[in-house]
Structure 1
Amino acid sequence: MSFTEDLAERLLSNKQFGRDYDALQAEAARSTLPENLSLEAKPLDTDAVHRLLYCASVFLQTESEPLRALAQSIALGSLLTNREDVAAENALRLLTDLGNFPALAYAEMRHDEDGVGLGQSLRAALSRDLNAFDVGDERLALTDFQKRAWDRLQIARALAISAPTSAGKSFLVIEHLCRLAEQATAFTAVYVAPTRALLSEVYAKVQKRLQGRDVWVSTVPSPGEDRSPRQIFVLTQERLQVLLAVADPDFDLIVVDEAQNISDGARGMILQECLDQILVRNPKARLIMLAPGAAGFLELGRSFGAPDLEPALSRLPSVIQNRILVSPGRVPKTLTLRLMTETGSVKLGTLTADRGFQHPDSRLAAVALELGRHGGSLVYATGPKDAANVARLLYIGCSDKAEAPLEALSKFIIKHIHPEYALATLVRRGVAFHYGKMPTLLREAIEGAFKTGDLQFLACTTTLFQGVNLPARNVFIHTSTRGRGTELNPAELWNFAGRAGRMNSDVVGNVFLVDYENWPEQPMDKFVGYKIEPAFRKTVETQRPAILEALAGDMPPVSKRDETPTKVRAAAGLLVSRAARGDVRSFLERTLPSSPLAEREALAKFAEKAHADIDLPASLLATNWTVDPFGLQRLFKYLVDQIADGNADAMIPQNPLIDPLKARERYENLFGRIETRVNLGAFGKLHKKAALPAVRWMEGKPYPVILSSEVVSAKRRYAKEMRAYEELKKAEPLTRKQPPRPINVNNVIHDTFDLIEDVIRFRYVQLGKAYYDVLVLALRKSELDHRIPEIFNFALALELGVSTRSGWSFMELGLSRIAATALEPHFPDSDMTAAKARHWLQTEDMTEFRLGPIVLAELIRLGLASPLTLAGAAHDGLSDDDLPAPLSWTEIDE
């Protein structure tokens, strides 16, 4: 141990240091809270602060990241207290030596009148220059962690970057990706994002960075024509799976964002299998994985052919993140606040308000209204409907804002979603809710309004746990559960809490933990990172008997509430596909290295026997293994029999735009055919419920049409049930039967979003792709190859929500479905390639298109239209007289 390390340990073990450190952090936290907080302690004396700053100067001379984190907390804490008796220059010097230049820039701006000396100014300028690099016309200074990671990116073949949320990981990797694309003559890369929300955010960043360059950027999994030899795909793992099936891309670089999702059930298995396929095809392909505070990368790399995967890790946040315990005080209208520390907690004080906090159902909103008045606030909700309810309570506590951006956002929601959607009312007071199954453009509009500060409160679900860049000054959490009480992984909560504090625009963020002492568990006591464990290995180790039964043909029925059967089915399907390829044993040896040889051999034999019994081509099984392979065999036999009986026309799906009157019936029969043969009818009448919305979705019908249809249907059902109830009351006045519950329009809209995303855009996309492949095989067996081109790719239409090649091309260019369907009618060619669509957008005069301002902004942001062609085109599509007024809460309830 060096002298510095020994001195640091001695300082750290001193009890006075602990008391002074906790007191400084408490004083700094109080500076971020409302003024109506009664203080519980006197400020630290000057000598104590100077002692802490001296300790910090010792800590940062060590290589210990925890000690350097303490040094940063002391520096930022002393700045936040804004003390006149302690020179700011001392803390600025510490931030300079720590290489935290975003925090340093913010602190310099706040303390520019404090007379910083020439020595510190020169030190800061030199340090910045050593960490600086150019991004376009801008020169930026990286943090020390970013600089180390950037240096490793230039030379590592396989790199895993793990650091706290908002540490600038994705910024580095996107810049690295774009530079490689610019410098190469031929280049192919894929950026894998787990959610559509993150996918659209990454695509926009890459597209903006490469605007004007000859690099093709796409979110659609198709090779396409007329493309640049330099191309970047931004895809979910499911879309990547499709791309690997329809093309043979030779990737130079693979980026996996939120890599901890490789532990996530069937979706994690898809991701692992895609990586395995890519690296088998090109062992020299470079790999970059990103995750917030994760471990287990080395073992992960070995499981899919990247044994040289090296980690670049950091636990050092760029801002202070205060964990503040909030509970109602004993006196009405008061809150007790405590700051969590490394050794326990310190009381911050008692806040006296004009509102009460006693009722548990409204406490979260009441606390957020009281403590989230300064800076944007994210309020965690357990699901979409809970988010809407929390937002409603926040709305009640806010006043109307006569602000043009919020008025425009409200009009956009009324026009493009539904006039009775509560969100149109909420946003007028700077309040919104957010969840992953919202339409993309709506979700992005909400995120944009929050980033600009127009929206002050955002009630959000676990969607924001998945890497979407939406930091805030405040984060409010009142439970460690999601949905119907399922416990969250503690790492997920820490990831969400990491959004408190905005790098480059603040040095502090507050995480308010409401009623924390009453949570079943206390996951926020100590940091918990993700433990990355491949989902396939975990499933096999815990469910091996069930997997063997599944391989024997006894597939477990899928359950809506239990994910285990889905994982078992996926693991079994993956093993069958590997047996079909002939490499199941090497696959098991690589993915299950610690399992006994006898267990691996049993799995291999069962998989090979299943493949022999199923007797479907390896190419079909390799791309559809998430679907029951025995079910695919049943479907194949059924289709061959139907074609032999002369029913080929009924088996071949058609574009719903060709015969709209019969489309619903055809797709209801098609979905039912798939469910009956593949899943043995386990989902009842789901195909009937999904058919009409699915057809309208594929036809490109806007959300107001789909949602209005569902709302009208719900109201009709309610009216019918009410008539039956009234008749019953007449016949049996004393009946104990309860009247039907009134229709809640917002719940109908939420449920329709769920149906579109979970069933239409996920379940039937997977089943639809499998149906397409099996039908091709059946037509070939029946010597009807010439009819294969007639098959409409309804799986892609379900995924994208449009049924023409032109619509797909618009979305391939990065446009949202709302924008794509708004543009489709304006060009007399429904079969445009993406290159032709781009040329048309950039040259067409759109003045007469009556496009909404948010659609126009999307075209400009993506560089798909020249501002000159949009001159005079801004039109919201409705006059103010045409717009219905936002409904009151009484009207919404009615």
Structure 2
Amino acid sequence: MKIIDKLTEDILRDEYFNALFNKCSLITAQNLFKKSNRVQFTTKELRDTLRFADILSNSKNSEARNRSYQIVASLNQDYKDNEVYRTVSKAIFSKLGNFPAINYLENKNKNIALLPIFREIETESKRLIQQAPDGNGMIFTDTQFELFNKLSKSTEFSFSGPTSMGKSFIIKSFIKKVIKNSPPENIVIIVPTRALINQFFSDLKNELHELLDTYKYKIFINSNVSDILTEEKYNYIFVLTPERLLSYLSQDTNPPIGFLFIDEAHKLANDKDARSVTTYSAIEKVQKMYGNVKLYFSSPNVSNPEIFLRLFNRDIQNSFRTGESPVSQNIYFVNLETKEVESYSNNSVLKLQDILDDSKDYSITKFIKFIGADKNNLIYCYSKRNTVNKAIELSKLLPRIEQSELVEQAIKNIKEYIHPEYYLVDFIEKGVAYHYGKLPQLIRNLIEDLYQKEEIRYVFCTSTLLEGVNMPTQNIFIIDNRSGSKTTLSPIDFWNLSGRAGRLTRELVGNIFCVQYEDFKWVDKDVLIRKDIKLQPTILTKIDHNLKKIEKALKNEEIKSGSEVEKEILKYIANIIKVDTLETTANYKSPIIDKLIEDNKQKLIDLAKQGIINFEIPKSILKFNQTINFEIQERIYKAVSKSKKSILPNSGAIKYESILKVLIDFHRLYSWDKTEKKLANVNSLKYYAVLMNQWVQGFSLSQIISQSIDYNHDNGYQVEVDFRVYEVFDKTNRRHINALIEKLIDDIEYVLRYILEKYFNHYYQILVAIIGESKAGDNWATLLEYGTQIPQVIALQNIGLSRNTAIKIFRHHRKSLILKDNKLVGVNKALLLNEFRSTSLEFEEIKRTL
């Protein structure tokens, strides 16, 4: 054992050190909770504490290095002007290779302390060696640099670290290196949600801008590249959801994939979400189609990142995990009913005495206001409705802020884009907002921008943050630890959420407040103790534990036990097994077939094969539509084979009546009364036909909302104002208007752009297979995805613009488009920016995207 390892071990067990460390935690808490009487270190205690931290910073042990950082961060507020602290803090951050933290000391604390000569030489050497490629002066931390080097030397890799580690920064740095390769290859990045597509797209566009031009790459966010005409040969970086990647793979003419990155790879192990199986299916198909594809997985807080490599039969030695974080996080459990506060750190609990004022009565919103004043605060709520309700409560406690030009313009834009009575208008006036996945992209962009610029200070949000949306913050309040209505946050989701606290370069530490109050009781606090998180992919756990149920699904028998989500996942897996049995060759077997053979389940493989071997429908269609019942697919295929024609009208005849007729036909063909809860009631199709017509005709969101308000009011329809609580719609009632707006947005994003899009895409694939692409007509799935029938508007969205902006450009600024044979070749950005109001949402988007 090395001397430093022995010293580290002794220090971490030493009673005096742990007493000093607890005193650091107490000092931090007293500052956060604004106590006037605070404990202080004696001169000896301060020197001893910093000496311990300095020794720990020399260790390779993640816990020791984190403790060293935590000590420096906790003492910063009280001792930033102390000469000993200034020298030692800078020396420690230098040893840790944490250059953003050094910059914080120098810029925020005006710390110009000189380091000992050998430490200075070491630090300057790291500055030179650890520079990020084309990073505009950005320097990797020690851990980031180690990981980047491992990535660069491998063709397959899986890595995991704390949420705040900067994993996306490392991926983007690696992509900068990859696009210089010769010969060049196409790159796909899988992200879990549409919301994350736009974030990743914007980041790549900004950071790779000149490199993209130099090395002839374009970034696309949809699966269709045919609507953009380029005279030069380009390679592509695609940022896609799993569903869009499957759509990409189903088109034979799309270019091959050389690199595949899976961001938020832990989603492969979410056994409460069928999309984990979709992600598996997309990756497996890429691997089968492009056998030499380079494969990379990134995940937060996973103890066994090699599991993803094992799933796809890759080398599990190519993995990396670290617990070291470039920012420190304080975790508190706050019981507002008993006024008790506990600090959680390094798997120990410290009870903090008299931290909350016994004489004060804290509601949850008063507590958030008390702690969060003049700081950036994210408040996690388990449901969209809860985010709005809690935002209303807090905004009532806050005065109107002095409105900057940015805030005034944001309010004007929201009124124009959504509706004047939308709650966000009032909230932003108070420095409050809410944020969730299906919020329109332009509004999400606006909120994120205002939050980063500290124009708004409180954002209530749902599990959007768990999907990797980049909204780092100083404080996170978890005021309800549910994920959905029936389950609690899993350990990986809890730590992923908590990891958003602490903004690298802006502060040294982030704070997480887990709050119990009148409306919510924490049943289990074990999740606050950090433990190893070992994952098992959903596809494997479901096969391991549900073979009898999968057998029933293969026989098309009813699965009687389990939740609806579990039944959906098991049927999905059964369909994957059926297709995989037909694609087994001497050179390739899918991971699922490999597992079934390994488990001696040949009988199950034979049963699966028998189920579809005599089907007429092409296996390629089944392969890309595994969530739709195979017998239904076969029935529709036979019906179209017999008629040799489509039931869809051509694009010129798309109107309410024709859409309704098609939806009624689809309801019968696809048995929606049994297969789709949202579409089960045939009477609901009239509503969806209206909405679908408005959407594909290019109506703006504000137009759709206004017409729906009038229609619901005039016809006396009911609106759901709370869970299963309905009232007759009144257009003078603001609560009714907002409930209707949220429902419309949800129906556009989920019913139109997810459920219906899936069925129309499937029907189109059948038409192409039987009557050919030239006679198949328009793919209505494309119209639903893009909300338009105009090819140039689709092309504009493919290069990253929102539907709203693309439609406005086409309708009012068409002269800025460069077209050839009616296909988009390019856009005159300067001309376009000159024609839009500089304070408009569209101007900002065009400036950022093109």
1:562-573 pair list within 5 angstroms: 562-573=564-575
**TM-superposed deviation, 1:701:** 1.4
2:824 & 2:780 partners in 1: Cα distance? 21
CA contact (8 A) 1:614 1:629 kept: no
Q: Which residue of 1 aligns with 2:369?
A: 369
Q: Which residue of 1 aligns with 2:547?
A: 544
2:527 & 2:255 partners in 1: Cα distance? 43
- AA of the residue aligned to 1:29: A
1:487 & 1:623 partners in 2: Cα distance? 33
**TM-superposed deviation, 1:115:** 4.3
1:172-187 pair list within 5 angstroms: 172-187=170-185
Q: Secondary structure at the match of 1:704?
A: helix
1:674 & 1:772 partners in 2: Cα distance? 14
**TM-superposed deviation, 1:306:** 2.1
Q: Which residue of 1 aligns with 2:803?
A: 817
- 1:141 maps onto 2:147 in alignment: no
Q: Which residue of 2 aligns with 1:163?
A: 161
| Distance change in 2, residues 1:408/1:354 (3 Å) | farther
- 1:295 maps onto 2:303 in alignment: yes
- AA of the residue aligned to 1:245: S
- 1:151 maps onto 2:154 in alignment: no
**TM-superposed deviation, 1:436:** 0.0
CA contact (8 A) 2:375 2:457 kept: yes
User: How many residue pairs get matched?
Assistant: 822
Q: Which residue of 2 aligns with 1:406?
A: 407
- The one of 784, 790, 814 aligned to 1:804: 790
- The one of 236, 240, 251 aligned to 1:235: 240
Q: Residues 51-103 of structure 1: CA distance to partner in whole angstroms, max 9, x if unpaired?
A: 22222233233322112211221222233332637432112111111111111
Q: Residues 135-186 of structure 1: CA distance to partner in whole angstroms, max 9, x if unpaired?
A: 5472222100111111112211111121111211111211221332244453
- 1:581 maps onto 2:599 in alignment: no
Q: Secondary structure at the match of 1:242?
A: helix
2:561 & 2:711 partners in 1: Cα distance? 28
CA contact (8 A) 1:158 1:308 kept: no
Structure-2-length-normalised TM-score: 0.90
| Distance change in 2, residues 1:196/1:661 (3 Å) | closer
1:619 & 1:596 partners in 2: Cα distance? 24
1:251-266 pair list within 5 angstroms: 251-264=257-270, 265-266=273-274
CA contact (8 A) 2:94 2:102 kept: yes
Q: Residues 840-865 of structure 1: CA distance to partner in whole angstroms, max 9, x if unpaired?
A: 34374565567961111111112x2x
CA contact (8 A) 1:219 1:233 kept: yes
Q: Secondary structure at the match of 2:827?
A: helix
| Distance change in 2, residues 1:109/1:845 (3 Å) | closer
| Distance change in 2, residues 1:794/1:679 (3 Å) | farther
**TM-superposed deviation, 1:529:** 5.8
**TM-superposed deviation, 1:595:** 5.7
CA contact (8 A) 2:718 2:728 kept: no
Q: Which residue of 2 aligns with 1:312?
A: 320
**TM-superposed deviation, 1:26:** 1.7
Q: Which residue of 1 aligns with 2:840?
A: 853
- 1:652 maps onto 2:648 in alignment: yes
2:693 & 2:184 partners in 1: Cα distance? 40
- AA of the residue aligned to 1:49: L
**TM-superposed deviation, 1:591:** 3.5
Q: Secondary structure at the match of 2:406?
A: helix
Q: Which residue of 1 aligns with 2:738?
A: 746
Q: Bigger shift: 382-391 or 63-72? A: 63-72
1:613 & 1:678 partners in 2: Cα distance? 27
- AA of the residue aligned to 2:387: A
CA contact (8 A) 1:797 1:803 kept: yes
1:831 & 1:701 partners in 2: Cα distance? 24
- 1:629 maps onto 2:612 in alignment: no
CA contact (8 A) 2:382 2:484 kept: yes
2:181 & 2:515 partners in 1: Cα distance? 51
Q: Residues 539-575 of structure 1: CA distance to partner in whole angstroms, max 9, x if unpaired?
A: 222322222122112365999x731121012111111
CA contact (8 A) 1:79 1:88 kept: no
Q: Which residue of 2 aligns with 1:188?
A: 186
**TM-superposed deviation, 1:653:** 4.4
**TM-superposed deviation, 1:633:** 1.3
| Distance change in 2, residues 1:802/1:528 (3 Å) | farther
1:558 & 1:769 partners in 2: Cα distance? 31
Q: Secondary structure at the match of 1:691?
A: helix
2:225 & 2:144 partners in 1: Cα distance? 34
- 1:66 maps onto 2:63 in alignment: yes
CA contact (8 A) 1:697 1:802 kept: yes
| Distance change in 2, residues 1:674/1:747 (3 Å) | farther
Q: Which residue of 1 aligns with 2:100?
A: 102
- The one of 773, 777, 782 aligned to 1:791: 777
- AA of the residue aligned to 1:481: R
**TM-superposed deviation, 1:616:** 1.8
| Distance change in 2, residues 1:564/1:192 (3 Å) | same
Q: Any gaps of 5 or more consecutive residues in structure 2? A: 720-724
Q: Which residue of 2 aligns with 1:890?
A: none
1:312 & 1:792 partners in 2: Cα distance? 47
1:509 & 1:25 partners in 2: Cα distance? 13
CA contact (8 A) 2:478 2:514 kept: yes
- The one of 544, 553, 557 aligned to 1:554: 557
Q: Which residue of 2 aligns with 1:338?
A: 342
CA contact (8 A) 1:663 1:695 kept: no
| Distance change in 2, residues 1:741/1:336 (3 Å) | farther
Q: Which residue of 2 aligns with 1:204?
A: 202
| Distance change in 2, residues 1:677/1:404 (3 Å) | closer
CA contact (8 A) 2:132 2:138 kept: yes
Q: Any gaps of 5 or more consecutive residues in structure 1? A: 358-362, 722-736, 865-894
Q: Which residue of 1 aligns with 2:386?
A: 386
- 1:704 maps onto 2:696 in alignment: no
Q: Residues 363-420 of structure 1: CA distance to partner in whole angstroms, max 9, x if unpaired?
A: 3322111101132100011111111111111211211122211111111111111222
1:256-295 pair list within 5 angstroms: 256-264=262-270, 265-295=273-303
**TM-superposed deviation, 1:837:** 3.2
| Distance change in 2, residues 1:544/1:61 (3 Å) | same
1:721-800 pair list within 5 angstroms: 744-777=736-769, 780=770, 784-785=771-772, 788-800=774-786
| Distance change in 2, residues 1:221/1:54 (3 Å) | same
What is the RMSD of the two structures over their aligned residues, measured on CA atoms? Answer: 3.1
| Distance change in 2, residues 1:186/1:237 (3 Å) | same
**TM-superposed deviation, 1:604:** 0.8
- AA of the residue aligned to 1:611: I
Q: Which residue of 2 aligns with 1:8?
A: 8
CA contact (8 A) 1:89 1:120 kept: no
Q: Residues 97-137 of structure 1: CA distance to partner in whole angstroms, max 9, x if unpaired?
A: 11111112102223335644564883475144244325547
- 1:28 maps onto 2:32 in alignment: no
CA contact (8 A) 1:805 1:833 kept: no
Q: Secondary structure at the match of 2:331?
A: strand
Q: Secondary structure at the match of 2:382?
A: coil
Q: Which residue of 1 aligns with 2:42?
A: 45
1:669 & 1:738 partners in 2: Cα distance? 27
**TM-superposed deviation, 1:816:** 1.0
- AA of the residue aligned to 2:800: G
CA contact (8 A) 2:656 2:690 kept: no
CA contact (8 A) 1:558 1:566 kept: no
1:511-550 pair list within 5 angstroms: 511-515=512-516, 518-528=521-531, 530-550=533-553
- 1:215 maps onto 2:217 in alignment: yes
| Distance change in 2, residues 1:759/1:30 (3 Å) | same
CA contact (8 A) 2:264 2:467 kept: yes
Q: Secondary structure at the match of 1:47?
A: helix
**TM-superposed deviation, 1:14:** 2.2
**TM-superposed deviation, 1:267:** 1.6
1:847 & 1:496 partners in 2: Cα distance? 41
- AA of the residue aligned to 1:813: I
Q: Residues 813-869 of structure 1: CA distance to partner in whole angstroms, max 9, x if unpaired?
A: 10011111212213389996899535234374565567961111111112x2xxxxx
CA contact (8 A) 1:190 1:233 kept: yes
| Distance change in 2, residues 1:17/1:369 (3 Å) | same
Q: Residues 211-246 of structure 1: CA distance to partner in whole angstroms, max 9, x if unpaired?
A: 241311100102426443321111011100010110
